[in-house]
Amino acid sequence: MPQRPIMDAGPGVNFFALHKERLLFGTLGALAIPETVENEIRRKSRQDRRFEAAERVLAKVPEHLLEVLSDDEEENLSRVVSRMANMPMKQRLRSGKDLGETMVVAHGVVAAESGDRALVLIDDGAGRDMAAAEQRRLVRLRAKGMDVGSLLLLSTVNVLEKAGGTEHIPDRGAMRDLYAKLRGLDDGLLPWEATRLGSLECWKT
């Protein structure tokens, strides 16, 4: 079975809050989220009215489309989290800062170290830096002859690029409108002008 992309809370809560789950699953296929991320989506949905729809959507998505990964201290996961955080996993789980991103990357690394091609969907800057560091580590391990896979990093913009020209985002105007709504929920996303979303090849045909 192909490795499911592992999603962080930011993209999840944003797409779910806008009822764009069909776009998300139609573009990337079935996804996975760590338990920590599931809890973060629920918490954010309850704390901020802009995201209140996200928890309802989360509850309706069937397991064949969204798998929740256990964050229990399994040996391989514990080893990866402890190495990344430079502290025991039990201690890391008690600190909420960047915990969702840490668990997303850690689950991806466990899959990559077993030889899979793992994908992680993260927008948060610190989380992307964390994933990039693990990407470089895996490249070094492969260069030493170790039989490990790879870790690929996706963003919300990448998802939208893939969805451009499909039924989900049929034209440039629909893309601009959706991106404006997403940025209204997450000002960490790049400005429209800093993306390629307005100049995709599909708009030129």
Residue 2: what pLDDT? Answer: 61
Residues 123/188, Cβ–Cβ less than 8 Å: yes
Convert the pLDDT of each residue in 61-102 to its tens digit. Answer: 999 999 999 999 889 999 999 999 989 898 898 887 889 999
Residues 32/64, Cβ–Cβ less than 8 Å: no
Residues 85/96, Cβ–Cβ less than 8 Å: no
146 alpha-carbon distance from chain centroid: 27
Cα–Cα distance, 100 to 121 (Å, whole number) = 12
At 190 the three-state DSSP class reads coil
Mean predicted lDDT score pLDDT of the chain: 95
Residues 198/172, Cβ–Cβ less than 8 Å: yes
Residue 95: what pLDDT? Answer: 81
Q: Map out the domains of the chain as residue ranges.
A: 6-154
Convert the pLDDT of each residue in 131-149 to its tens digit. Answer: 999 999 999 999 999 999 9
DSSP of 38-98, one letter per residue?
Answer: HHHHHHHHHH-GGGHHHHHHHHHS-TTTEEEEP-S--HHHHHHHHHHHTS-HHHHTT--TT
Residue 50's Cβ-count burial label (10 Å; 0-12, 13-18, 19+) is middle
Convert the pLDDT of each residue in 34-59 to its tens digit. Answer: 999 999 999 999 999 999 999 999 99
Residue 3 has pLDDT above 90, yes or no: no
CATH topology of domain 6-154: Rossmann fold (3.40.50)
| pTM given for the model | 0.95
At 147 the three-state DSSP class reads coil
Cα–Cα distance, 179 to 157 (Å, whole number) = 9
Residue 1: what pLDDT? Answer: 47
% pLDDT > 90, the chain: 90
At 122 the three-state DSSP class reads coil
Distance of CA 199 to CAs 19, 80, 102, 181, Å? 25, 39, 33, 19
